[in-house]
Amino acid sequence: MDGRGWFEGIGIDLDIEIAKVLRLVTSFLSFNIQSKVSAIIRIKELNYPDYVVPNIIANWPSLLQHGLDNLIKLDLTEMGLIDRIAVIQVSNYLDEINFIYSDYDGLKIYLIEFGQQILDAIKNRLPKVSVNYFKEFIPKLNTVNVK
């Protein structure tokens, strides 16, 4: 690549901006890795019917796809909380209060019951737009049924 940086060289060769090159390359890599890992998990399940795949492993491809590091953040995202800062701060708050995560449904029930208290506790950590997203998110939980 003539001593140029990888992404810079691809951008010049294809006549596109480096930001687009980064998006294309990371999307391609994420998709391929996600597909392979999903296939490996499925093969394991088929070959060992009694083996129960741990949630974190079963959901790893989705965690990778969304760039998340735990199941609470993934569940919040899948429930419809689209603001990344709010997702992170809600997860951090739940860690701080030693919330014991069991599953998607348990988290959803907790958020429905204590959503306003969570908002009151984290609103000073959030930009106004994130506060608004979280305020809109809580009432919608009664209608969301993703999983």
Radius of gyration of the chain from its Cα atoms, rounded to whole angstroms = 19
Note the pLDDT of residue 8: 79
Q: Are 106 and 76 in contact (CB under 8 A)?
A: no
Lowest mean pLDDT among 39-48, 123-132, 133-142: 39-48
Instruction: Please indicate, yes or no, whether residues 2 and 61 belong to a single structural domain of this protein.
Output: yes
Instruction: Please indicate, yes or no, whether residues 3 and 34 belong to a single structural domain of this protein.
Output: yes
Instruction: Please indicate, yes or no, whether residues 80 and 32 belong to a single structural domain of this protein.
Output: no
Query: Can you give the pTM of this predicted structure?
Result: 0.74
Instruction: Please indicate, yes or no, whether residues 146 and 76 belong to a single structural domain of this protein.
Output: yes
Note the pLDDT of residue 131: 97
* End position of a domain, from candidates 67, 84, 112: 67
Q: What is the mean pLDDT of residues 127-135?
A: 97
Its domain, for residue 137, covers 68-147
* End position of a domain, from candidates 50, 67, 84: 67
Looking at the chain, the whole-number percentage of residues with pLDDT higher than 90 is 53
Note the pLDDT of residue 88: 97
Is it the case that residue 58 has pLDDT exceeding 80? yes
What sign has the CA pseudo-torsion 6, 9, 34, 109? Answer: positive
Is it the case that residue 28 has pLDDT exceeding 80? no
Number of domains observed in the structure of the chain: 2
List Cβ neighbours of 49 (8 Å cut-off, separation of 6 or more): none
